[in-house]
Every structure is written in structure tokens, then in C-alpha cells.
Structure 1
Amino acid sequence: MKKRILNEMRTNELVDAYAQIGILQYSALDDGKISKYNRLYDEKRAIEEEMKARPGDERRALMVLYGYPNMQVRLNAATATLAVAPEPARRLLEEIYASGWPPQAYDAGMRLSALDDGTFKPK
């Protein structure tokens, strides 16, 4: 998505687009399409940056995705909200890790380890 388009979207539209990206990432991982996953990652980051730049840092709006049925969507939302809602975001990462659902559980475990050892600092 182009930055100009993101600037014109309402927060709820960004949240919906964010969820759709997570669903597509999940499928890309399942199908072994890493280049597609990476392109989607860039789109996901652009949405996070747009939300962060808005007054009051609107990344909190992504917390509505904590209960989303897709594991990748929940993982993305938890990671994106670590800076604005650290306790609930960490709890969600712990739940995903405990689920053992690959590869999202592995990603959650790596994020938790990086948080604990200080190599990952949410911004």
C-alpha cells in the first residue's frame, strides 16, 4: 500500500487491512512463498508506522485483533502493540508460544526471549 493511501484511511480501515495482511501471511507461510510473505511484511510495517505516527499512537486499536481466529494475525497484533500495551501484548505472545502452533509459536518464543534478554526493545 502506498503511504498516501494509508494517510487517507480511517483507523478501523487500517485495522481491517492489517488483519487481511496477517491472513495472507499465514497462507504464504503455509505455501512456502517467502517472497510473498516478505512483501506482506513490508505492507504490515507500513500500516504500523502510519498508526504510530497518528496523534496518540493509534497502534492500540490493533488490540481488537487479540482474539482473532488466525494465529498470524494475533502474533502480528501482539508484536505491534508491545510498545503501547506491554502487559497484554506479552500475555498474548505467551499464549501463542504455549499453543505450540508452528511457526507462530516459535516466532512468539523468539520474541519473548529477545524481550527478556534486551535484544528487542519495542518502539
Structure 2
Amino acid sequence: MKITECKIIQEYARLSDLYGDAIETGNHKKANKAYDELMAVYQQIKAQGALTSDAFHELLSAPSMGTRLWAATHYLAISYEESEKVLTALGEVSNCLLAVSAKTTLDEWKKGNLIL
């Protein structure tokens, strides 16, 4: 793996974790900022072809719920089955706003409403 690829995936993990924490604590300004930065990093990962890398795949089992949520979302087109397992598990977490996001993501993907 290229060093820049490794760094950009680490940044993706950091930002997705930050996003998840901000959502769970109700800090919409922090969440919106993290989201904007995360989407820019995602575009870089996508442009480099790093979505299929082992390093990105490992994010599906990251300790951070926010990271697992976003990695599974962005991995849907690569492996629906793996992503579905992660999103379903996240969707079963009680009293968690990210659980709602996970359920909604799966529902919208099944309807064909997500463009990644």
C-alpha cells in the first residue's frame, strides 16, 4: 500500500470517528464539519482506487461505530453482504442515533436511492 493511501485511510477513520461522536453527543456543527471533510477524503480514496484495499476493508471492524457505519456505507457497492452485516449489527444497538443511520442507509440502498 502506498504511504499516501495509508494516510488518507487513517484520515477517513479519524473523521468518521469524529462524526460518530459528534452525532451521538448532539453536536451538529462538529458533525457537519466532520461530514464535509469526510466526504472530501472519501472522494480521494475512491479516486485512488483504495476502496478495495485491505486497509479500507479493515475499517469494517474498527472499534468506532462511526467508522464502521461510514466504511460499511461506502463498501456497499463492493460487497453488499459484508456491508449489510455491519449495518444490521449497528442498527441493533439500543439508544443510539448511529443505529438509526445504519438502518436508514440499508433501507435507502435497497430502494436504489444511494449513489456512492
TM-score (norm 1): 0.80
Distance 2:97 2:83 in 1: 18
Partner in structure 1 of residue 41 of structure 2: 47
Structure 1 position 59 matched with structure 2 position 51: yes
Partner in structure 2 of residue 35 of structure 1: 29
Q: Which amino acid aligns with 1:60?
A: T
Task: Give the CA deviation at 1:52.
Answer: 1.1
- Aligned-residue Cα RMSD (Å) equals 1.7
> Aligned in 2, Cα 1:51/1:19: closer, same or farther, shift over 3 Å?
same
Task: Give the CA deviation at 1:85.
Answer: 2.4
Mind listing any 5+ residue stretches in structure 1 that lack a counterpart? 1-8
Structure 1 position 111 matched with structure 2 position 81: no
Mind listing any 5+ residue stretches in structure 2 that lack a counterpart? none
Distance 1:80 1:74 in 2: 10
Task: Give the CA deviation at 1:101.
Answer: 5.2
Count the aligned residue pairs.
112
Task: Report if aligned partners of 2:88, 2:102 keep a CA contact under 8 Å in 1.
Answer: yes
> Aligned in 2, Cα 1:97/1:11: closer, same or farther, shift over 3 Å?
same
| Relative contact order, higher structure (CA 8 A, sep 6+) | 2
Moved over 6 A (4+): none
Distance 2:113 2:16 in 1: 24
